[in-house]
Structure 1
Amino acid sequence: MAVYVYAVARGDHPCRLDGLTGIGSGEPPVRVVESAGLRAVVSDVEEEVRPRRRDIAAHQAVLDRLLADGTPLPLRFGYTAPDDDSVRRVLDERAATYLDALAGVQGCAEYNIKAGQEQSVLLRSILDASPRASSLNDEILSGHTDPRLPLELGQLVAAEVEARRSTASTELIRALAPMARAYVVHPPTGEDFLNLSLLIPRDGEDTFLDAHAGLARETGEGVRTRVAGPLPPYSFVP
């Protein structure tokens, strides 16, 4: 029978899994496979793994339980192995890599910061700060039909948006990164201009959250930041 793998932990992690059920229609118990000083947290799975709401919640519940007692290396949703022996072979073959990675994240949790800016507020700020942009906008609104005017305004605004977002991202990273053991900048999506994951020591979480709250009050007009965490360190798994 195939096994679904949730995470890899150090051999001394308590892995308190009582009461947890794994993914799949049978809600199998979650258990541990051990080898090479490591513990893989798994459950049996019979059907094809799909990202159903109940299964995603079960996956996250296992990782949250593990994170409460020590930092594991989380696997992305959907990872399966043919059987327990296959899991042990992977633990044996990658023992040095896993142990190094676990040492790197020990005592930490991941926090994710996303930052975006309201487009209407940003555009108004640019028009207020740039005489040329304001002049072009006024000419367009007054009825001028020269096609070069909106083209120039669009290029000017786009360049200013990029410059402002780059500056804001740099300032946020500069302020928060020193509190992290490591950080990763991901490609932002949607209207966000920053997607930042930080590996924060558990004994420094309050200081980090206070710093973020202060930055959220001080960021530029229309800028909003959101924080998620503590999370398993997905961004720091080799």
Structure 2
Amino acid sequence: MKRILLAGESWMIRTTETKGVDEFTVCSYEEAGIELKAALRKAGYEVEHMPAHMVPTQFPETIEELQAYDLVILSDIGANSLQLAPDVFQHSIVGKNRIQTLSSWVQAGGALLMIGGYLSFTGFEAKANYAHTALADVLPVTMLTEDDRIERPEGVTPHVLHPEHPALGGAGDSWPRILGYNKVKIREGAELLAVAGDDQDPLVAVSQQGKGRSAVFTSDCAPHWAPPEFSQHWDGYDRLFAGLADWLTRQ
């Protein structure tokens, strides 16, 4: 059984409530990507989810560790979480450049999928910041250096350019609306499979990277950018992400 490492798709919430003259703080923890994990497991993959708060300490540091997986998915997890291990950030101890290692692993035959979100690509207030890392060299798109979010609260219907491409898994050419995505540009030599918005911005793109492969889905895999009509009620959702995983791992 092929193994997938999904990094990201979790967050912590700190809420302050004021009631008259009294105030207190409540903390909670949430995970997303439920639909994505279910789709991949249904397709026969073993999925290991590494929540965002675990990435700084547990994301693979070496090629050998990455070779335990057939595919790595980064979803709504910024570059800082991969780069700033506690020893580096808190104690100024030289450590591994895990993004460089991930990039080298892809070139050597690994597979990478980046899914959009507020902390994907360049992200909200440019905080995801992948444009200035080695990962920029192995994606099928180039990234902006400023906040790259395209918010479409009225909804935008994706346009599928190549519905027959195996990476789309037979999801067809009629997709539900999405509510936003990260704006990127297609890289020369990559295959652009689906677009969104007035500027026909890349939504799904794939590429060969040395001996490996990479792909992007620039919207989210879960709300809010992927509303229930896309991520929960559309029967093409499972086929789309299974197709991407199959294409990426079929070397």
TM-score higher than 0.5 here?
no
TM-score under structure 1 length normalisation: 0.28
- Specify which structure has the bigger relative contact order, considering alpha-carbon pairs within 8 angstroms and separated by 6 or more residues: 1
TM-score under structure 2 length normalisation: 0.27
More helix by share: 1
Q: Which has the larger radius of gyration?
A: 1
More strand by share: 2
